Structure 1
Amino acid sequence: MTTHHIEDVGGDDLAAGPEAELAVEPHSGFLAEAAGWLRDLLVPADRVAAVRRVLDVGSGPGAASCELARVFPRAEVVAVDRSPSQLVRARTRAAALGLTGRLSTRPAEQPEEFGALGPADLVWTGNVCRHLGDQQAAVTSLASALRPGGLLAVCERGLPPRFLPRDIGIGRPGLQARLDAALEDRFAERRARLPGATSVVEDWPRLMAAAGLVPAGTRTFLIDLPAPLGPAARGYLRARLARLLAEIGDRLDLADRLTVEQLLDGDACTGILWRPDAFYLRAVTVHTARLCAGRRA
């Protein structure tokens, strides 16, 4: 399992390592809203205490794990990731929020390991399945961790972020559209090389139904941070652009590479750290399905 987190939407898997930490603040409102929606789907308001165990598969630094622990105050939350350093960050975050003793961590890397993580009342996974060769097998393995009546929440795709106007006054207009296209091309090539890569229609409710679950609803959440952005969001965007240049710079023409370099210039007024027109807008989609009581996936 590659380390990918809630901020990785579209064909974009740029938020990893330190960028994952920087991404937490711009996405914190979405995580709180999504966790509340899952609570309302899973149990009546007077039975929240009945949720005793939650898995966050592909947890990264534990932002979603900690939000789920807040929403389900009687639940043990298990942050699951392949990266030991991300699991350390998840434990550190939990300690800072007073959640020590309620959040534990566990390493896992392959779909066949997911079923061994259960049983759980809720399984949340953010942008993990699309980085595994057989997405249906990954969903089926996640479903196998559910208790009867439990809920699987799969955050996949949505709309890629926008954070600059079409014409930014430097380079050719339409830079972000070209960056998105390059990211999608790179993602498609990498996905084709994954072990056991299998082509499926990425209809997540259908994939969940094929795993023996009953689709329970899909919802798209809007993250809308208008200009002018605060320092945390600007720091995240600068880190994102730097990693983007390293990952797909060879796919860009010289003019676009130079434009991205100008955006990264920390001292220039045209840089992302100082531009008054920088904003952050994206849509994140979460698909859910339930394991019927009395039935195991």
Structure 2
Amino acid sequence: MSGRHHHHHTKGQGREHGHDHDHVPAADFDWDALAAHLEREAELKASAVTAAAHWLRGLTGDGVRRVLDVGSGPGVLAGLLAEAFPAAEVVAVDQSAALLERARTRSGGRLKTRQADLPEEFGKLGEADLIWSANAIHHLGDQQTALTGLAGLLRPGGVLAVAERGLPLRYLPRDFGRGTAGFQARLDAAHEAGFSTMRAELPGATEEIEDWPAMLGRAGLTPTGTRTFLIDHPAPLAAPAREHLHAQLGRLHDQLADHLDPQDAATLAALLDEDAPTGILHRPDAFYLSAMTVHTARAAG
């Protein structure tokens, strides 16, 4: 529900992925470009999400009949959940009608869709045996209230799985021959400051210690474990991963360039050079390494 974070979000909603269109009229927003960006990102995470889904199968058993992906974007991850739970109705939930249409098209009609503004329209979603939400809750002002709302949709014994944070993306060596070593760590620091600003500006923003298992417990659920899944695409990267990194760095440049020191801003611009061999599109040392952490909890049976 990918603000200034690199994960997708829709206004008042969210999702591992960064588009600031909250103040852009829907008619003017480039939904196709956003969908393509979100799809590339989700496809890079596909093996990790598949592994997480199989873990969730072990937690939920064979009785799952309805799955919600809250903050689904264009439905890549919802499609993976549908593969893991073939007997279930899988519903992609998002604020954006355009992204939900993409989800329907991608899945050939396998996915159901539900358009909803969250958290105001939790009541539109219906009950579920499994609720998945990846990088969406942090785009809602009151995260605890959002978790409690989702928990209230679970059928007896149902599981809520929340993928939040994990480890930041790494894509180049610590010293890659441009500027001062440690560039990505400094970019992370600027990004974290922007993320905190985004959180503070959300409607109903509430400060919360982000202990997700404890928050799930306060939502009335029993925590059932946390696991982290590796996203690992070693060098040399294939073209889709490079194109995604280029787009991601372009977004970070738009958001953070004014907050970086001149040398780091120049390094970021150099990585975006589409023709230079030292740009991210061509570097032989570029890789894609991250981790997705999933927190789970169960409703009383």
Name the TM-score, length of structure 2 as normaliser.
0.89
Q: How does 1:99-178 map to 2 (within 5 A)?
A: 100=109, 102-178=110-186
- Check whether the contact 2:144–2:215 (CA below 8 A) recurs between aligned residues: yes
SS at match of 1:281: strand
Provide, for residues 219-241 of structure 1, a one-character-per-residue CA deviation record: whole Å limited to 9, x for no partner: 01111111111111111101100
Provide, for residues 82-136 of structure 1, a one-character-per-residue CA deviation record: whole Å limited to 9, x for no partner: 11221111111101xxxx2x31111112213224312100000011111111101
The partner residue of 1:34 within 45, 52, 55 is 52
**In the alignment, residue 49 of structure 2 is paired with which amino acid?**
L
Provide the identity percentage.
58
2:256 aligns with: 248
Matched, 1:287 2:289: no
Matched, 1:86 2:99: yes
Give the alignment's Cα RMSD to 1 decimal: 1.7
How far, CA to CA, are the matches of 2:145 and 2:251 in structure 1? Answer: 30
Matched, 1:59 2:67: no
2:5 aligns with: none
2:235 aligns with: 227
Structure 1: stretches of 5+ with no match in the other structure = none
Structure 2: stretches of 5+ with no match in the other structure = 2-8, 21-32
**In the alignment, residue 179 of structure 2 is paired with which amino acid?**
G
SS at match of 1:235: helix
- Check whether the contact 1:111–1:142 (CA below 8 A) recurs between aligned residues: no
Runs of 4+ in structure 1 deviating by more than 2 angstroms, as ranges, are 1-5, 12-18
How far, CA to CA, are the matches of 2:146 and 2:120 in structure 1? Answer: 8
- Check whether the contact 1:20–1:61 (CA below 8 A) recurs between aligned residues: yes
1:68 aligns with: 81
**In the alignment, residue 23 of structure 1 is paired with which amino acid?**
E
How far, CA to CA, are the matches of 2:84 and 2:38 in structure 1? Answer: 22
How far, CA to CA, are the matches of 1:126 and 1:70 in structure 2? Answer: 17
